[in-house]
Amino acid sequence: MNEMLGLYPQWYVPGIGTAWVMGIIGTIHVLASHTSVGAAWLFALLATKSVHENKPEIMVYLKKYGMFLLVFSYIIGSITGPGIWYSVTVASPRGISGLIHNFVWLWASEWVFFFVEVIGVYAMVYLIGKIDNKTYLKLAWSFAVASWATMILIVPILSFMMWPGNDHWFQTGSTFDAAFNLNYFAHLGVRTAFMFAVAGAVGGIIASTLKDRETRIEITRFLSKMGLAGLVLMSFMFMWYTLTLPDNARLIMDTQMMPRYGKVLLVLLTTTALYFMFTAWKPLQLRQSMAGAMTLAIALFGLWPEERSRESMRKPYVAGQYIYSNQFFSRDVPGKGVKSDMPLIKANGVLATDYFVPADLHTITPENQLRAGSLLTHVMCANCHSLEPNGALRPLPALFGYSKEPKMIKAYLDGALYHGMVPYMPKMPLPEDEREAMAVYIASLPGGSKKPASVAINQTEIEAKGVN
Amino acid sequence: MDAATTANMLQTMQDQAGIPSHPLIFQILMVFTWIPHILFVNISLGAALVGLYAFTKRQDPNWQLLSEAMTKVAKVGVSLLVVLGVAPLLFTQTIYDPSWYASNVLSAAWVIGFIFTLTIGYLAWFTFYLKNHGAQAPGWIFWLGVFGLAMFLLDGFIMHVLAYQGLHPEKWLSWYTPGGHVDMSGTAIHAFELPRWGFFMAMSLTVFGAFLIAYGDYFKVRADRAPAYLDFARALGAKIAITGALLQVVLLLWWLIDVPAQVHVWTHPMTWLLAAYLFVLLAAFWLARSNNAGQGYRLLAMSIGMAALVSIFREVLRMAYLHPFNYDILNYKVLWDIPSFALFLFTIVVVGGLMGGFIITLVYKAGRVQGPYEADATVTKLGNGSLASTAIWVVVFIGTGIWIWLRNNG
Ligand code: HEM
């Protein structure tokens, strides 16, 4: 058993929660980074076409597009990349720590690619027309492959966050067992397909401004075909992807994500497909504003739900099905010598074992009960729940039906949460007095503007989900 | 928090998963990958400052040319300093995870602000760059540039705060619970050290000055750059570098005085080595001040040497700060992971060497000729190597992946 908890201090963002902060930065980053990888391939394909068919006009487009690519993808992508990292750091320090300590060499390898990519993009843009064609194509294709390699290297980490998918890694602790988890290839497939689709949309922003009629038609058609192919591939990959998910994720996807986002995603998919068909059919009708709107729609109605879903679906974990979102270790990982925190908090509670507790809160008294309850609720729940009645992130008061009844709340803490019966919530075997303090605190939270809804917690429903 | 409790806390906070290779490997990588980061920080900040100053004198053709060129240098430089920052970011949190994460979370709002301000600062700078052409460039864009530079300076300051707060684990709890009340807002900056931050800013003048002299030498061979302009750039570079090196000496002294006594910074040989080297560097700039044609590369190399010493000094200092709390990375639990380490070595040597070497050689050689450039035998070979290495890399990685995937999930 661990002697103390290795928790960090906590960051709490009222209203939207840290999860949304990550979601916002994540959405921007995913858009920029996938566009840049897709665009790298577009660059290489078009440069090859230009050289082989002796069409220098295409290079003019590339020069323009490259400039745009630089600002749009590289700058935004390369700042928001560390940006995600930083936001995960402050939202979930132990989560990122777990990933870093498992994958540091993968990340370091990715960094090598990332570095050659960034110097490569300058070379690609500034050397167009300045160096001989053969050398240029070598540059363009190295660049395309290297860009994809950054994706190949980050997806192991992202898919491991969902789950290892089998017991090997828990026993061996080997990086490759973690990297090539059950979810990996399907996830890589979805992202690879998506990068072609989104590059097809973003490419239109510049293609629509080309002066030369023939080139404009040719490039727009090329983009449309690439986009369509990406969409089709993505649909298949997504089906495979859902088959590689753990039960808790399937449950959340079916019960929460699909009802909330399913229709939007379907409409978006259809619209995008129609858009590409239209631009293939009537390339000259494509306006810059349309391509811009399409890109924005993909970000808002595609990526935002995707980022939020990915975050929700791996609940109650943040990584590897051993680190809970609230930063506790849920189980032993023999391969790494990681010990579950559960026995410790069951025996001694959190207040006495967390270093970041004010001295007078180590033991609960009638005077400090409310403050203790507040701290505990923040530590145990705030990663996933806003504490404000109208907060954006699964607001806790609302989920308790704005109950002012500590008894009722405590019953929930004593039952479902204590025993870990809710598939999407961590197990929290806290001692009696800590549960009591939390219940008192949660009951003291201000009510919402809405009328108390029918009480959200329905024991039989939870048990039904629990067996699932 | 007393030293014993702090020591226990740090030990508990270290990731239980341990690290996959010997700690010294990470430490060396951290120290050496930070050198290029700070060099590009220095060049970018210096170039941005001089680019803006030159902009105000753009009626003079030399200043005008310089303004355009340096605006571009800062544009490229910042994007490189960001990528280059990623590597030390990775390694510092591998071996100093408690310090890095605690410090970040305690100032979380600033961490997010860092990303935000860096993005808008860069976009502002980029817009300034797009419009800064010719003597007729509109005057108002100056303020865009100023805004960009101000954001970069702020971001450097935030970086400094994050590094510095991590050195004081004994204070984390009191920062987190001021007056016994838990503060989860992350809006406070809890500690900073002006001379330390100032030292890195002064260093920007030195390194950038050397860069400017080297810039003058690099373009010597290009017929389209007037020798008078290049002389002008070099002379300016020398002045800036001397100012920077002088300021560095003063700020280093102030910094050393500010470091707490229990760190014993005065008795450490690194301290004296750095100080002595700064004097040597200052002397080198001084001696080259009036006739520095052809000396740029040497002076730049000497400045890079200085950056290396600074990087080592920073690490020595960190070890000394954490020593009273028994934090020694050599005690970090090691669970070797050979395959992924081999992957990294393969990637950095083969892909980094061939593709990186290809691009850098190509850009260097193409930049020195006016008009089209035809690849010579070296560049041709590097180009083939670059293509082959990336392709082989993908095949090997995916191939290994399929094999392991089938074995584990089949
Ligand atoms: C304009 C932007 C930036 C500036 C001016 C800047 C400047 C600096 C300075 C002055 C330091 C030394 C601080 C000290 O030791 O007191 C530093 C350290 C560092 N920077 Fe940057 N930086 C910038 C952006 C970045 C970015 C984007 C990253 C990451 C991707 C990064 C990663 C690092 C790391 C890892 C350290 C070392 C921290 C440590 O030792 O614990 N920097 N930077």
pLDDT one digit per residue (tens) for chain B, 410 residues: 899 999 999 999 999 999 999 999 999 999 999 999 999 999 999 999 999 999 999 999 999 999 999 999 999 999 999 999 999 999 999 999 999 999 999 999 999 999 999 999 999 999 999 999 988 889 999 999 999 999 999 999 999 999 999 999 999 999 999 999 999 999 999 999 999 999 999 999 999 999 999 999 988 888 778 889 999 999 999 999 999 999 999 999 999 999 999 899 999 999 999 999 999 999 999 998 888 888 999 999 999 999 999 999 999 999 999 999 999 999 999 999 999 999 999 999 999 999 999 999 999 999 888 889 999 999 999 999 999 999 999 999 999 999 999 999 87
DSSP A299: I
Q: How far apart are CA B126 and CA B132, in angstroms?
A: 10
Q: pLDDT value at position A468?
A: 30
DSSP A92: -
Do residues A446 and A356 share a domain? yes
Q: pLDDT value at position A449?
A: 54
Do residues A303 and A385 share a domain? no
Among candidate residues A324, A351, A385, the one where a domain is terminated? A324
Contacts of B183 (CB under 8 A, 6+ apart): B176, B177
Do residues A126 and A73 share a domain? yes
Distance of CA A434 to the CA centre of its chain: 32
Two tokens at A113?
């690619």
The answer to whether residue A10 sits within a structural domain is: no
Q: Is residue B188 within 8 Å of residue B106, measured between CB atoms?
A: yes
Lowest mean pLDDT among A139-148, A195-204, A272-281, A303-312: A303-312
The interface pTM score, or ipTM, of the predicted complex is: 0.94
Ligand 1 centroid, distance to B113 Cα (angstroms): 14
Which residues 269-308 of chain A have a CB within 8 Å of chain B?
Answer: none
Sort out which chain A residues have CB atoms less than 8 A from B349's CB and list them: none
Q: pLDDT value at position A20?
A: 83
Q: How far apart are CA B206 and CA B303, in angstroms?
A: 7
Q: How far apart are CA B179 and CA B60, in angstroms?
A: 59
State if residue B89 touches ligand 1 by the CB under 6 angstroms criterion. Answer: yes
Among candidate residues A324, A355, A389, the one where a domain is terminated? A324
Q: Whose CA is nearest to atom 17 of ligand 1?
A: B159
Sort out which chain B residues have CB atoms less than 8 A from A184's CB and list them: 401, 405
Contacts of A233 (CB under 8 A, 6+ apart): A189, A192, A193, A196
Q: Is residue B111 within 8 Å of residue A89, measured between CB atoms?
A: yes
Confidence category of residue A464, pLDDT binned at 50, 70, 90: very low
User: For chain A, how many structural domains are there in total?
Assistant: 2
Q: pLDDT value at position A22?
A: 85
Nearest to A105 among B93, B337, B362 (CB): B337
Do residues A225 and A140 share a domain? yes
Q: Whose CA is nearest to atom 33 of ligand 1?
A: B85
Q: How far apart are CA A324 and CA A329, in angstroms?
A: 6
Confidence category of residue A252, pLDDT binned at 50, 70, 90: confident
Do residues A348 and A224 share a domain? no
Residue B86 alpha carbon, nearest atom of ligand 1: 30
Ligand 1 centroid, distance to B89 Cα (angstroms): 8
Distance of CA A206 to the CA centre of its chain: 29
Q: How far is B267 from chain A (nearest CA, A)?
A: 34
Share of chain A above pLDDT 70, in %: 95
Whether residue B3 lies within 8 A of chain A, CB to CB, comes out as: no
The answer to whether residue A335 sits within a structural domain is: no
Whether residue B326 lies within 8 A of chain A, CB to CB, comes out as: no
Q: At A398, which CATH number?
A: 1.10.760
Q: pLDDT value at position A466?
A: 36
Which residues 55-94 of chain A have a CB within 8 Å of chain B?
Answer: 71, 74-76, 78-83, 85-87, 89-90, 93-94
Q: pLDDT value at position A448?
A: 61
Do residues A255 and A367 share a domain? no
Q: pLDDT value at position A72?
A: 67
Residue type, B139: G
Do residues A223 and A81 share a domain? yes
All structural domains of chain B with their residue ranges: 3-336, 337-410
Confidence category of residue A262, pLDDT binned at 50, 70, 90: confident
Q: Do B337 and A175 touch (CB under 8 A)?
A: yes
Among candidate residues A280, A298, A324, the one where a domain is terminated? A324
pLDDT digits (tens, 9 = 90+) for A53-67: 998 888 888 887 777
State if residue B225 touches ligand 1 by the CB under 6 angstroms criterion. Answer: no
Q: pLDDT value at position A460?
A: 38
Question: Per-residue pLDDT averaged across A405-420, rounded?
Answer: 95
3-state secondary structure chain B: CCHHHHHHHHHHHCCCCCECCCHHHHHHHHHHHHHHHHHHHHHHHHHHHHHHHHHHCCCCHHHHHHHHHHHHHHHHHHHHHHHHHHHHHHHHHHHCHHHHHHHHHHCHHHHHHHHHHHHHHHHHHHHHHHHCCCCCCCCCHHHHHHHHHHHHHHHHHHHHHHHHHCCCHHHHHHHHCHHHCCCCCCCCCCCCCHHHHHHHHHHHHHHHHHHHHHHHHHHHHCCCCCHHHHHHHHHHHHHHHHHHHHHHHHHHHHHHHHCCHHHCHHHCHHHHHHHHHHHHHHHHHHHCCCCCCCCHHHHHHHHHHHHHHHHHHHHHHHHHHHHHHCCCHHHCCECCCHHHHHHHHHHHHHHHHHHHHHHHHHHHHHHCCCCCECCCHHHHHHHHHHHHHHHHHHHHHHHHHHHHHHHHHC
Q: Whose CA is nearest to atom 39 of ligand 1?
A: B163
Do residues A229 and A168 share a domain? yes
Do residues A422 and A353 share a domain? yes
State if residue B196 touches ligand 1 by the CB under 6 angstroms criterion. Answer: yes
Do residues A124 and A263 share a domain? yes
Q: Is the dihedral of CA A383, A388, A390, A395 positive or negative?
A: positive
**What is the chain B residue with the closest CA to A107?**
B90
Tell me the best of B37, B97, B147 to mutate to test the pocket of ligand 1, counting ligand atoms within 8 Å of each CB and taking the most: B37
Q: pLDDT value at position A312?
A: 81
pLDDT digits (tens, 9 = 90+) for A77-98: 888 889 999 999 999 999 999 9
Q: Whose CA is nearest to atom 38 of ligand 1?
A: B163
The answer to whether residue A11 sits within a structural domain is: no
The answer to whether residue A8 sits within a structural domain is: no
Q: Do B401 and A80 touch (CB under 8 A)?
A: no
The answer to whether residue A28 sits within a structural domain is: yes
Do residues A49 and A96 share a domain? yes
Confidence category of residue A295, pLDDT binned at 50, 70, 90: confident
Strand pairing category for A323-324 and A317-319: antiparallel
Whole domain around residue A319: which residue ranges? 17-324
Do residues A300 and A352 share a domain? no
The answer to whether residue A349 sits within a structural domain is: yes
Q: How far is B48 from chain A (nearest CA, A)?
A: 17
Q: pLDDT value at position B136?
A: 85
Two tokens at A165?
């998918």
The answer to whether residue A3 sits within a structural domain is: no
Beta strands (DSSP E) in A290-391 are 317-319, 323-324
Two tokens at B189?
């900056």
Sort out which chain B residues have CB atoms less than 8 A from A182's CB and list them: 405, 408-409
Q: At A71, which CATH number?
A: 1.20.1630
